[in-house]
Structure 1
Amino acid sequence: MVSRISGAVFLGHPHCRDEQWLRLSVDYSINVFQTSFTLKLFPSAFHPLISRLIPAQRRLSRNLKDAETIIGPIADEIRKKNAGQTADVEREIPGSLLSWMVHNSDFKVTDNGTLAATQLILTLASVHTTSMAVCNALFDICAHPGTLRPLLDEIMQVLDGKDPEQLCTQDLSQMKKLDSFLLESQRFNPPILLSPQRVTMEPITLKDGTFLPKGTQVAWPAANILMDPNVTFDPEAFNPWRSFEQGNETSPASTNAYGHTSEKNLLFGHGRQACPGRFFAVAEIKMILARMLIEYDFRFCNQGCRPKSLTIDEMVFPNPFAKLSIKRRNEGR
């Protein structure tokens, strides 16, 4: 589902529904993670040799070739369609991201192979983290069933009789309780424990005198900061309306919106290098949850409890073996 939504922006219609591309966009991310986790087990000096022995790395090479066979004809079609237009007209056409890349890239990434690789990297950055956020949100709704009615009431109030398919950006920004719920869900189930992660490009001396040589790896304990009682009151309690109440009482609502960054919330990074696609991801998550909560009921199978997330190095994943029972609501309910 997330792959289709992202593909609608990245590739446009009808290519976002190409089953081969959807499968490829998922497989590529899995192979990247498997390759990365395997390489981390060995010193970097051995990576060139070890990488040749990793099956996932060989699958990555095939993924890139398959991507070019899919993206290449689409890019050629875009070039042919706009061959007679001036550069100024092309820049005004609000097409897909791929269309923009073909006509406006300043980084010489206009050959089909590079375009395909770039599209795969975009799916790596957008699909899995967004999917994990939706999964964790559904798990938390089932674990805290009292949150469903307030969330659903807010969604229906924002829609005000409109069809859910007509949700727009302005509607999504009005879902303050959903913002608050998602922030709390992410606080307990972050996609990564250390964020942001950086490498010093030149020697740096910090204010306290700490010296960081060039090439030093630096990371912030984003997950621990959010669970610090000096940052979050009663951090061990799941309070879905925490930021909603804080926004109403002490600070502008925008500073408590899902996707907002600060020194206290670093999961999307912070400053000039904060995640550039975070608001796109937030819009996807809200649209998916709004539609699912309107049309379906959810519960854990066999009256189970919330499945614990799995951690590999600093990465955190929803339990892939967890199952939910999903039932479409009766008409008029």
Structure 2
Amino acid sequence: MISDLSSEASVSATQVLLAACGLAVAYVVVTAFILPFLSHQGKYWSTQSWVGLQKQWFARYRAGANAVKNTRNMVIEGYEKFSRNNKTFVLPQFSTRPLLILPANKLNEFLSLPDDRVDPLLPNQESIATEYTVGSDISHGPHIDIVRRQLTRRLPLLTTDVYEELVFSMKDNWNADQHDWTTVKAYDTCQKIVSRAANRVFAGTELCRTPEFLEHSRLYAVAVFRTGGIMRLFPKPLHPIIAPIFQREIRKHLNICKRLALPNIRERLAHIQNTQKDSTYKAPVRAQADALQWMLEDLNELAKKDPSELDEHKIVRRLLLLNMVAIHTTSMVTTNTLLDLYSSPDKEEYVSGLREEVERVLRESGGEWTKTAINSMYRIDSAIRESMRYSDLGDVGMRREVIDPKGIDLSGGIHIPYGVRIAAPNHTIHRDSAFYGNNANEWDAFRFSRPREQYIEEVQAAGGDADRLDRVLEQKNQGLIATGADFLSFGHGRHSCPGRFFASQEMKLMLAHIVMNYEIEVVGGERPPNMLMNGACIPSQTAELRVKLRSGKA
């Protein structure tokens, strides 16, 4: 009797579990595959021109699955068929909403729309699954404002610190000498070099010289981007189920960083609060001018109204978010620049030209790196900008979501309804001969500096003010930090990357130091192709460089 009851209970539990699984699957199928077709958006998509779509069962979903590996080919197809004719097209996405791709001539008009009509944050938050990775509660706050306000304004005061840390980090990570070649992983070591230099500004000298903090803050960023990329492959209803699996690695690195950073943070806060209580109190010299210090000062003020602003867990996550944004793209761009430069058939000419410029600029500045000296390196600037154009980090960019219930209207009779996500075809714009001439598909280190230098020479010969002209030219998309509808690596418009001023300074200092002090070869001679995945373009993890100190360099 008892055995029968136990058996019945077991069968009942199994039935309940199967029923629950069936309901979960049904929920996912209905919400992810059926409802989208019946919605207002679904009807809109049916009227649009798609790429990568074939006449077959579940055509859109199969096209989305194909887009995981073939986004670039789809964007190229759509650009040739539609963008060149100033028309929009739809790019399929796997397990998420498709993207409406705008032609280049609509970008300025689109980006001029206010944020209460077109949201720039929602698609970016989804791209790294913010709710499950860094936390939605730090999407806004003083750590973001600091990059816009204080960091850019104080760059001239930070130049020496950044350069010093770059030099130390290169010595540690490349371990090169003048006699034998050393082989290093390009992307891995660039990440570590950039991380240490950026942390000198974001976290201060003590933490940037703590190897364990550097390594785990770097791995935290890697884990966040990896988790976001993986979760994009699953329908949103499944995120709460799968997130805990991938959050383990993020939590592991976060906890280590908390253990290492909190003593420093607590000490700084104590100094800030003591200074407020006693006007005669003098904070120690080690209370530095860095982003962490500025953030803590702002948070201490905000805590007077909301004490949760000084929650230690939240403070560390904010610091790591600054780290993540500063290090991720900068390290990819520097890796791409080195691979592009040293695998170029014209590398001897380019490297020689870069060295001549750096030597001349340093001679004119008395051997010191100043803001003026950095701004005078047109060729260094051009080589990095060219890699951002040619070896771009994504096939599409500037994702936005229409949040105006009435939708938006663009010239040419284009109406885009509420909820539609929009993007720009970065890769194809950057390779368009209409913008970059007949050699648009070639890497040309001096593409942007050549006309700039030539024009300035002509002005000087005519007795004009070359410095004033240079400032004008920089605003006309000649300089690395300038954005435009034909150069989208930093975004464009009001929401173009606020950290690009710091990133450009760091990258220019790094490349200048490398060409002056190192001999470099790409292992194998040819540039290893970047990895293309779901619209992202990431430098090869296996690409290697052979490095050696130049003669006479210590």
Tell me the TM-score normalized by structure 2.
Answer: 0.56
Q: Give the counterpart letter for 1:59 in structure 2.
A: E
Q: Deviations over 1:78-105 (max 9, x none)?
A: 1222333249999xx8711111111124
For residue 229 of structure 1, the aligned residue among 408, 411, 433 is 433
Q: Deviations over 1:176-235 (max 9, x none)?
A: 011111121221111222121122232323233333333322111112111111111111
Residue 520 of structure 2 corresponds to residue 298 of structure 1: yes
Query: What does 1:200-215 correspond to in 2, within 5 Å?
Result: 200-202=402-404, 203-215=407-419
User: 2:355 maps to what in 1?
Assistant: 152
User: 2:251 maps to what in 1?
Assistant: 61
Q: Give the counterpart letter for 1:78 in structure 2.
A: R
For residue 311 of structure 1, the aligned residue among 524, 532, 538 is 532
Query: What does 1:267-278 correspond to in 2, within 5 Å?
Result: 267-278=489-500
Distance 1:205 1:107 in 2: 40
Residue 399 of structure 2 corresponds to residue 177 of structure 1: no
Residue 227 of structure 2 corresponds to residue 18 of structure 1: no
Distance 1:286 1:174 in 2: 11
User: 2:487 maps to what in 1?
Assistant: 265
Query: What does 1:1-333 correspond to in 2, within 5 Å?
Result: 1-54=193-246, 57-86=247-276, 95-105=289-299, 109-144=309-344, 145=347, 146-160=349-363, 166-202=368-404, 203-234=407-438, 235-247=440-452, 248-249=454-455, 252-254=472-474, 255-302=477-524, 304-331=525-552
- For structure 1, which segment, 193-202 or 152-161, has the greater mean C-alpha deviation from structure 2 after superposition? 193-202
User: 2:42 maps to what in 1?
Assistant: none
Quote how far apart the aligned CAs of 1:332 are.
7.2
Distance 1:126 1:237 in 2: 28
Q: Give the counterpart letter for 1:328 in structure 2.
A: L
Distance 2:544 2:337 in 1: 14
Quote how far apart the aligned CAs of 1:127 are.
0.8
Distance 2:547 2:365 in 1: 24
Q: Deviations over 1:29-54 (max 9, x none)?
A: 11112211211211111111121233
Distance 2:487 2:257 in 1: 36
Identity in percent? 27
Kept in 2, the 8 Å contact 1:223–1:267? The answer is no
Quote how far apart the aligned CAs of 1:107 are.
6.0
Query: What residue ranges of structure 2 are gaps of 5+ in the alignment?
Result: 1-192, 304-308, 457-468
Q: Which secondary structure state, in structure 2, belongs to the residue aligned with residue 196 of structure 1?
A: strand
Q: Deviations over 1:57-89 (max 9, x none)?
A: 211122232232223221211122233324999
Quote how far apart the aligned CAs of 1:163 are.
8.1
Larger radius of gyration: 2
Tell me the TM-score normalized by structure 1.
Answer: 0.90
Distance 1:7 1:102 in 2: 16
Distance 2:359 2:415 in 1: 54
Kept in 1, the 8 Å contact 2:380–2:511? The answer is no
Distance 2:513 2:207 in 1: 23
> Relative to 1, partners in 2 of residues 1:226 and 1:99: Cα closer, same or farther, differing over 3 Å?
same
Kept in 2, the 8 Å contact 1:71–1:112? The answer is no
> Relative to 1, partners in 2 of residues 1:199 and 1:67: Cα closer, same or farther, differing over 3 Å?
farther
Q: Give the counterpart letter for 2:441 in structure 1.
A: E
Distance 2:402 2:205 in 1: 41
Considering only aligned residues, what root-mean-square deviation do their CA atoms show, in Å?
Answer: 2.4
Q: Per residue, is there more helix in 1 or in 2?
A: 2
- For structure 1, which segment, 93-102 or 283-292, has the greater mean C-alpha deviation from structure 2 after superposition? 93-102
Distance 1:223 1:241 in 2: 20
Kept in 1, the 8 Å contact 2:365–2:373? The answer is no
> Relative to 1, partners in 2 of residues 1:63 and 1:239: Cα closer, same or farther, differing over 3 Å?
same
Q: Give the counterpart letter for 1:177 in structure 2.
A: R
Q: Give the counterpart letter for 2:504 in structure 1.
A: V
Q: Give the counterpart letter for 1:77 in structure 2.
A: E
> Relative to 1, partners in 2 of residues 1:19 and 1:94: Cα closer, same or farther, differing over 3 Å?
closer
Q: Which has the higher contact order (CA 8 A, sep 6+)?
A: 2
- For structure 1, which segment, 42-51 or 214-223, has the greater mean C-alpha deviation from structure 2 after superposition? 214-223
> Relative to 1, partners in 2 of residues 1:320 and 1:163: Cα closer, same or farther, differing over 3 Å?
farther
Quote how far apart the aligned CAs of 1:148 are.
0.1
Q: Which secondary structure state, in structure 1, belongs to the residue aligned with residue 397 of structure 2?
A: coil
Q: How many pairs were matched up?
A: 327
Kept in 2, the 8 Å contact 1:179–1:257? The answer is yes
Quote how far apart the aligned CAs of 1:259 are.
1.9
Kept in 1, the 8 Å contact 2:340–2:443? The answer is no
Kept in 2, the 8 Å contact 1:72–1:113? The answer is no
